[in-house]
Chain A
């Protein structure tokens, strides 16, 4: 009888433990699944701004933590850099921004990732001793973020320079909208 009682207690404990593990596992998986859907557009814009602020600050470690190892950075002149090249350019001062701002962002969220696209104002730091005001470059920038177990990571950042508008001609008719590309 005692043996049977012990077996009953063991079985009950095993069943309760199994149930607890199942509930905990299910809750963890549900939490992991919902963490992406709970990431709001504002969170992603904030993430993009954080990346830009870290770049301006020259914080290589902070920037590195936000970039995927296979990330591609395409500058407004069409030059492409890997993550390592981008970080090296920051560390050597070859790439030093004084302004890197995002305006009018649009966020597209897809399963596993998101795109943050908007107008980007960028300026390089002037050489030491220079009194010249930094020249602001206006671009259309898009960043692709994907969700990894370690957090959101940048896998692509691409900028396209927006040409400065030509000076308005005197009393000229409005030009036809050009085909783009």
Chain B
């Protein structure tokens, strides 16, 4: 009799251990495979700046590390590029940036990611020494935390319409 009770007790305790261990593993998996703390808004804005600076420098390795392979890049013209196309346009010089700066960016976190958005100034270097073309866009960048770190899955820019001209008196 005692033996049966002990067996049942051991089985129950084993089941409990299995459940607790499984739950912990599931939680870790849901958190991106590691118990990493949630970044601060300042850290997300810094990440955004790293992406902008790497794009200006046409640093393909850095840009690549910061972009998910399936990332979508939507330019202010509405043109859409894959990660490979965006990096190719930077390294070929087809897309040459002298300014890429978000000011007053806001961060909205969601589980496993964040949206960084804000007005952004972009200057495109024109060929032949012509003055750069400067654009003002509202850019949103969606970052998600992957096992390899935070990566962009979407970057979309929308030109900010200039304010209407003051009416003549």
Please list the residues of chain A having a beta carbon within 8 angstroms of any beta carbon in chain B.
4, 7-8, 11-12, 14-15, 18-19, 22, 25-26, 29, 33, 68, 70, 72, 74-80, 106, 108, 110-113, 115, 117, 138-140, 142, 144, 146-147, 155-156, 158-163, 177-181
A72 CB, min distance to chain B CBs, angstroms: 6
Within 8 Å by CB of A11, from B8, B18, B96, B146, lies: B8
What 9 pairs across the A-B complex have the smallest Cβ distances? Answer: A78-B160, A162-B78, A180-B75, A112-B112, A77-B161, A140-B78, A180-B79, A146-B110, A160-B158
Contacts of B138 in A (CB 8 A): 74, 78, 80, 158
A181 CB, min distance to chain B CBs, angstroms: 5
- Beta-carbon contact of A113 and B113 below 8 Å: yes
Question: Which residue of the partner chain B has the closest CB to A4?
Answer: B1
Cα-based distance from A78 to B80 in the complex (angstroms): 17
Contacts of A144 in B (CB 8 A): 115, 142, 154
Cα-based distance from A68 to B109 in the complex (angstroms): 12
Cα-based distance from A125 to B74 in the complex (angstroms): 27
- Beta-carbon contact of A115 and B142 below 8 Å: yes
Question: Which residue of the partner chain B has the closest CB to A18?
Answer: B12
Given A72-B117, A160-B158, A108 and B12 contact (CB-CB distance below 8 Å)? no
